[in-house]
Amino acid sequence: MSLKSWAYLNRVVEGPSRPLQLLLGAGRDAEEIAHGVRTRASWLGELEPQTAARHGWDRAEQDLAEAAAVGARLITPESGEWPREELDLAFGFAATGRSEHVRSYQADAVPPHALWVRGAPLNQAVAQSVAVVGTRAATRYGHEATRQIATGLATHQWTIVSGGALGVDTVAHEAALAAGGLTLAVAACGIDRTYPARNAALLDRVAGQGCVVSEYPPGTSPQRHRFLTRNRLVAALTAGTVIVEAAWRSGALNTLSWAEGLGRVTMAVPGPITSAGSLGCHERIKDGRAQLVTGADDVRALLGAVGALDIAEQYELAFAATPVQSLTRNELRVFDACAPGGSTAQDISGTAGLPVPLTVHLLMDLARRGIVHRDGTAWSRMAAPQG
């Protein structure tokens, strides 16, 4: 029953919805809120006018069936694959009020209440991810820069997140797929619809080697305001955003602004000074609102330091003079998942909640550094890592 309640709310309440999030935060569950919306309960508060026009749109079973028909599912904060850590960090930062950008978009600076997903588990796909976005009218330079950066990141097990649009988005997805990496497309329409139509085959491949995500119920058409709403999710689900070729008023700059407002790392690729197609990138770099990056190594260097040592979460390690202190969040997840008697990469992947290729990549690096040991197919922690 609860999933049907979530599907009903997803149809009736177009996210983002601060009133709905406030009710959820106050302890009301989806079933109670859905019943309240249907019956126009007095305690709905600001959710009452927000649902006045749609509260009769009760087609939860149909939405779930239409999603299932295209291989998609609805996930909610109650789901095991909900990207809780990423969303809590992003929108938790927004709630501090430290960002000028978020103050101007305050109503939208809240997480989604449900997501439709086609493909891999979402929490695993975004465990180590970066957004690569840019203009639809990409030049040859933009194509090459995007391909170089996306390929280099995918090779090192970074999931490439973009919007599935033509131009830079398409090149980013294609490069990640060609490198055998994970890629994720965040759609601005229903999960059963394809936009742009020209990318139908590409988005099928993305879902097969990563996932396609939408905040909107089946049948929802792409509209301008939904692209802006989509951009906040692209920024929130990733550790940082790289922008390639953005003109002065490029829509891609909105994603970079959201990354800034959500406390994520903001990066821009410089373009030729003779081209107006990179004026937006240059302006952000000059203003100090984006780090200049020229390749995948620059991006990895900036993102690798993020969350490398969280004092609050690793207090018990504060005085341990071992290499464990320097592990990143994902490295520590893999290290902790290694059983004393040894575990297979598959088991470690499941325990850590990370994709198998990323888990193997991290295990091999930890082994090279003498932090874990491999014996056949079994991986175990070193008793006393040497640093």
106-304 CATH fold: Rossmann fold (3.40.50)
CATH fold match for the domains 106-304 and 315-381: no
Report d(CA 190, CA 212) in Å as an integer. 11
Instruction: Return the pLDDT at 273.
Output: 87
Instruction: Return the pLDDT at 247.
Output: 82
Domain definitions of the chain by residue range: 1-57, 106-304, 315-381
Taking only the tens place, the pLDDT of each residue in 222-231 is 988 899 899 9
Contact 136, 296 (CB under 8 A): no
Taking only the tens place, the pLDDT of each residue in 284-329 is 999 999 999 999 999 999 998 554 333 334 334 444 445 666 677 7
Q: In terms of DSSP H, where are the helices of 166-209? A: 168-178, 200-209
Report d(CA 17, CA 6) in Å as an integer. 14
Instruction: Return the pLDDT at 226.
Output: 92
Instruction: Return the pLDDT at 34.
Output: 96
Q: Which residues of the chain have a pLDDT value below 70?
A: 1, 100-106, 305-326, 383-387
- Dmax over CA atoms of the chain, in Å, equals 64
Instruction: Return the pLDDT at 324.
Output: 67
Instruction: Return the pLDDT at 246.
Output: 86
281 CB contacts (<8 Å, ≥6 apart)? 243, 244, 245, 246, 268, 269, 270, 271, 290
Instruction: Return the pLDDT at 332.
Output: 80
Report d(CA 47, CA 45) in Å as an integer. 5
Tokens of 128: 């180590």
Instruction: Return the pLDDT at 359.
Output: 87
Please tell me the pTM assigned to this model. 0.85
Give how far Cα 357 sits from Cα of 132, 148, 150, 373, Å.
21, 21, 17, 18
Domain 315-381 class, CATH top level: mainly alpha
Contact 238, 212 (CB under 8 A): no
